[in-house]
Amino acid sequence: MDLARLFPRRRAPRVALIRLQGAIGITRPGSPGLSDAALAPVIERAFRKGKPAAVALVINSPGGSPVQSSLIAARIRRLADETHVPVHAFVEDVAASGGYWLACAADDIWADETSVVGSIGVISSGFGLDGLIAKHGIERRVHTAGGSKSFLDPFRPEKPEDIARLTRLLEDMHRAFKAHVTARRGTRLSGADLFTGEVWTGAQAVATGLIDGTAHAVPKLKALYGDKVRIVPANGPRRSWLRLLGAGLGAEVAGALLDTAEERALWARYGL
């Protein structure tokens, strides 16, 4: 008599954990940051491998590209709906701007009391260098076919029509961001104006409805799925062998420095 078949052992529930760490944007192979192309196999595997009881997102991101934020979040939601697997988000230091966009892909959001959450807005920043090149006697020569091809050229004075055009672009992106948050958080939102770009601590964000409570990943997942829950980290995007060996040269090194500078600027907005 096969006792194992008569009395099958119940396997402990398994939760796939995806770490979303860093700025969001299109990145070169091996460079830091989050993009839909790099994360696609990780997300697909987390939802489809071994019938998980849930997927957990551990988020530590100051934001970045609205498009990549939308693509990653949409992929998570599509797979969650197809597989009927619940998704829980856990915020570490920060889930701001695009980082909060990703958090809203989950069914519930948890954070540390001191996490930074929110920044539901869109920003465009740059430098005006027209005065600098004029001071050094440098002449800027630009020839275009199409009146808007030199839009916001940093080596030319700003034009009111360019600023107006940029404002329209930012407002469209902001509307999409607000619609995503409203659709995902629904009646949990407090009704206050939460879309000004302001940020809150995790403790403050509970009252606004931006998050569901303060909790850390492992104890919360044990509370939800039992003490024997198996939390299985998903593999992150692979780094290029050149970076692993420290052998990046030329443009690779220059690109890495730019990546680092841009990411540091994003983190610095939140004092990190």
Catalytic residue among 35, 70, 97, 115: 97
Instruction: Tell me the two tokens of residue 82.
Output: 């197809």
- Non-local (6+) Cβ contacts of 196 within 8 A are 120, 121
Cβ distance 139 to 120 under 8 Å? no
- The active-site residue out of 49, 51, 124, 149 is 149
Distance CA 151, CA 146 (A): 10
Residue 246: Cβ-neighbour burial (10 angstroms; 0-12, 13-18, 19+): exposed
Q: How far is CA 232 from CA 10, 44, 222, 258, in A?
A: 18, 14, 13, 33
Helix (H, G, I), strand (E, B) or coil at 42: helix
149 is catalytic: yes
Catalytic residue at 222? no
Q: Which residues does 193 contact at the CB level (< 8 Å), separation at least 6?
A: none
DSSP 214-241: E--HHHHHHHHH-TT-EEEEPP-PPPPH
Catalytic residues: 97, 149
